[in-house]
Amino acid sequence: MEQLKQKILNEGIVLSDRVLKVDAFLNHQIDPVLMQQIGQEFARLFRDEGITRIVTIEASGIAPAIMAGLELGVPVIFARKHQSLTLTENLLTASVYSFTKQVESTIAISTRHLSANDRVLIIDDFLANGKAAKGLISIIQQAGASIAGLGIVIEKSFQVGRQELEEAGFRVESLARIAALEDGKVVFID
Ligand code: 5GP
């Protein structure tokens, strides 16, 4: 997706050969127009899949997921990372190792919002080693729902996430694919 790649080139900051900072439009400040275009692109890619729910993880997956949900006309559920006094019902949970925070945490979705009749599109901001994605897949499978695929805003293709998810049989659609972060620069695949 050309607008996204331009934005990454213009406003992304390469923190190391493994970490890209996009606080200017995705992870802290959010560009609503770009998010709308991202939502439209995910909707175009998955429109024929009979999606009934979008599942993401707080916090940075929410903006692109909401826009895709608006385009597809389906509800968006975000997995919670923190215990909440209001989240008292039965929970589906998974343990996820965070690439950026380097800690293991439990993510949770209430059983009220996902059922075996659902067909789910998973959306997230980044795909690195696939831990967040696999946690979400586990929760969706616990609910008995089916998974249409994963929509990723920025994929770091030099990490193992895509390969492992594809080997497990999942469709992965990434709007920007990064081959390498080299000498402070972003190198895209095609
Ligand atoms: P994974 O679980 O695939 O290893 O990592 C994906 C998660 O880690 C995403 O939800 C994202 O929040 C975070 N993440 C991974 N790599 C990066 C990165 O280079 N930059 C930023 N800002 N977040 C990342």
* Domain harbouring 125, CATH code: 3.40.50.2020
The verdict on the CB of residue 19 being under 6 Å from ligand 1 is: yes
132 Cα to the center of ligand 1, angstroms: 8
Residue 129 in domain: yes
136-190 pLDDT per residue, tens = 999 999 999 999 999 999 999 999 999 999 999 999 999 999 999 999 999 999 8
User: 142, 134, 137, 138: which is closest to 116 by C-alpha?
Assistant: 142
Q: Please tell me the predicted confidence (pLDDT) of residue 141.
A: 98
- Nearest atom in ligand 1 to the alpha carbon of residue 18 is 19
Q: Please tell me the predicted confidence (pLDDT) of residue 122.
A: 99
Q: Please tell me the predicted confidence (pLDDT) of residue 21.
A: 98
Residue 101 in domain: yes
Residue 5 in domain: no
Question: In this model, does residue 87 exceed pLDDT 80?
Answer: no
> Which residues lie below 8 Å from residue 43, measured CB to CB, with a gap of 6+?
68, 71, 72
Residue 13 in domain: no
Q: What is the 3-state secondary structure (H, E, C) of the chain?
A: CHHHHHHHHHHCEECCCCCEECCCCCCCCCCHHHHHHHHHHHHHHHHHHCCCEEEEECCCCHHHHHHHHHHHCCCEEEEECCCCCCCCCCEEEEEEECCCCCCEEEEEEEHHHCCCCCEEEEEEEEECCCHHHHHHHHHHHHCCCEEEEEEEEEEECCCCHHHHHHHCCCCEEEEEEEEEEECCEEEECC
Give residue 134's domain range.
31-84+91-178
Residue 44 in domain: yes
- Long-range contacts of residues 161-166, Cβ cutoff 8 Å, at least 24 apart: 161/127, 161/128, 161/129, 161/130, 161/133, 162/127, 162/130, 164/129, 164/130, 164/134, 165/127, 165/130, 165/133, 165/134
24-63 pLDDT per residue, tens = 999 999 999 999 999 999 999 999 999 999 999 999 999 9
Q: Please tell me the predicted confidence (pLDDT) of residue 176.
A: 98
- Annotated binding residue at 156? yes
- Annotated binding residue at 10? no
Residue 10 in domain: no
The verdict on the CB of residue 137 being under 6 Å from ligand 1 is: no
Q: Please tell me the predicted confidence (pLDDT) of residue 79.
A: 97
The verdict on the CB of residue 100 being under 6 Å from ligand 1 is: yes
The residue nearest atom 12 of ligand 1, judged by CA position, is 126
- Annotated binding residue at 129? yes
Give the mean model confidence (pLDDT) for residues 79-101: 84
Tell me how many domains the chain contains: 1
Range in 77-81, 84-88, 110-114, 135-139 with the lowest mean pLDDT: 84-88
Q: Please tell me the predicted confidence (pLDDT) of residue 100.
A: 85
The residue nearest atom 19 of ligand 1, judged by CA position, is 19
Write down the pTM of the prediction. 0.97
Q: Please tell me the predicted confidence (pLDDT) of residue 159.
A: 98
State the average pLDDT for the chain: 96
Residue 56 in domain: yes
Residue 72 in domain: yes
